Structure 1
Amino acid sequence: MEMKLVDIHFQFDRKKLYFFYTSEGRVDFRELAKKLAASFKTRIELRQMGVRDEAKRKGGLATCGREFCCTTFINNFKRITTDIAEENNVANSISKYTGPCGKLKCCLSFELE
């Protein structure tokens, strides 16, 4: 089972426990959910999230010194392509423009607007 646990959240009434995780592909966690439900004596929901969603959930400071754009105002993630990086003249130093999620920084798309 290849998964990275990101966060755990109990519903206010404690009737459901959410496990947020990232994983390369889809994995069947039904057996794990059953074991967790027996252990915690509540309903379990396992929710897979993408790496950008993980960065949004964890939060942090970007290299510009501000909070991550995804934690403050981005609700829907746009696909940031290498074409966008080339239009911003950053194609030669892609690693410098990679965010905490490992993908190109979302702010590169703002330069084009």
Structure 2
Amino acid sequence: MVVLPVRFERSPRLHAMLSEVPYSVGTRVVVQGKRGPEVATVRGEATDPDPRGRYGAVLREASPEDRAQWDDLHRRGEDIKWLLRARARERALKVKLVAVEFTLDESLVTVSYSADERIELGGLIGELREHTRARVNFAAIGPREQAQMIGTLGACGRENCSSNHLQDFAPVSIRMARDQQLPLNPEKLSGPCGRLLCCLQFEHTQYLELLADLPRKNAKVCHEGSGACGKVTKLHPLAGTVDVQTDQGPLYGVPASELRRDGPAAPARAPAPDPEA
């Protein structure tokens, strides 16, 4: 037995599955997951299983019949999603229906939705039962999961990270933006989901290491070359320099190695950011 990382269609997250056959990358397989049998794609090389690991199972390579049935179920799910959206509008339900997904054996249909408040879904369940005998599961998802499933473009012009490669949603805080000297503009710091950009966490550790060698903003320092003393007004972590406002005028791009503190040292920087509220 080997372990294969597989990916489902609506998420970049990799799921470890036990398999008797080391299928090659790109092979579509039928797997037994938490919801039931589904079609997924192998996204990595086979590895040895961990005795302590918990895995799903690869049942077989997806046959042409499996793929055709899966595509048909996907089309049915899309049709039902738009039908339920129309019925929700008729009932004035403040809900956004994101996806309707069947298992391969059509024993379960999962309706992913988002809503700002608790809503009554009984009417929609009745509508759904007119089109399938599958067991119905309504799953509430958050803004980030919604962006992940739908897929959008980020401010960088590329596909948003949550639907491209992110494996988990790590906490992101406004402190990360401050440490990276970014303007605290909510429109520029928010992703398509309306939450703080996930990419703020990618380089935060490196910024903390760079900031450790710089004086803090508003710290009193003196320039060893000119002897001028003043207050730090701006940090440039990547360049390792700071801007200083002195009585003789501003100094721009001063290397931290040419500065000495004028007075007691500033308190140590917090080692970890506060989680987003």
User: Normalising by structure 2, what TM-score?
Assistant: 0.37
* Alignment partner of 1:44 is 2:151: no
Given residue 189 of structure 2, which amino acid in structure 1 is its aligned partner?
A: Y
Q: Residues 17 and 44 of structure 1 are in contact (CA less than 8 Å); yes or no, is this contact kept in structure 2?
A: yes
CA contact (8 A) 1:82 1:91 kept: no
The answer to whether the 8 Å contact 2:153/2:192 transfers is no
Match of 2:193 in 1: 101
**Do structure 1's residue 32 and structure 2's residue 123 form an aligned pair?**
yes
Alpha-carbon offset, residue 111 of structure 1: 2.3
* 1:61 and 2:153 are equivalent in the alignment: yes
Is contact 1:36-1:44 (8 Å) kept? no
Larger Rg: 2
For 1:21 and 1:69, the matched residues in 2 are separated by: 21
**Which of 95, 107, 115 is matched with 1:3 structurally?**
95
The structure whose RCO (Cα within 8 Å, separation 6+) is larger is 1
Aligned-CA RMSD value: 1.9
Higher strand share: 2
State the match for 1:111 in structure 2: 203
Shift >6 Å, 4+ stretches = none
Tell me which residue corresponds to 1:80: 172
8 Å contact from structure 2 (residues 172, 201) kept in 1:
yes
For residue 6 of structure 1, give the secondary structure of its aligned residue in structure 2. Answer: strand
Which has the higher mean CA deviation after the structures are superposed, 94-103 or 64-73?
Answer: 64-73
Unpaired runs of at least 5, structure 2: 1-92, 206-277
* Distance apart, 1:108 and its partner CA: 0.6
Does residue 16 in structure 1 map to residue 108 in structure 2?
Answer: yes
Q: Report the CA distance between 1:66 and its aligned residue.
A: 2.1
- Equivalent-residue separation in structure 1 for 2:172 and 2:151 (angstroms): 19
% identical aligned pairs: 28
Distance 1:38 1:20, change over 3 A: same
Structure with the larger helix share: 1
1:94 partner amino acid: P
Greater alpha carbon shift after TM alignment, 57-66 vs 45-54? 57-66
Task: Tell me by how many angstroms 1:40 deviates.
Answer: 2.1
When residues 98 and 19 of structure 1 are mapped into structure 2, their CA distance, relative to the original with a 3 A threshold, is same
CA deviations on 1:5-40 (whole Å, 9 max, x unpaired) are: 1111122122222111011244453x2364145312
Indicate conservation of the 8 Å contact 2:95/2:114, yes or no: yes
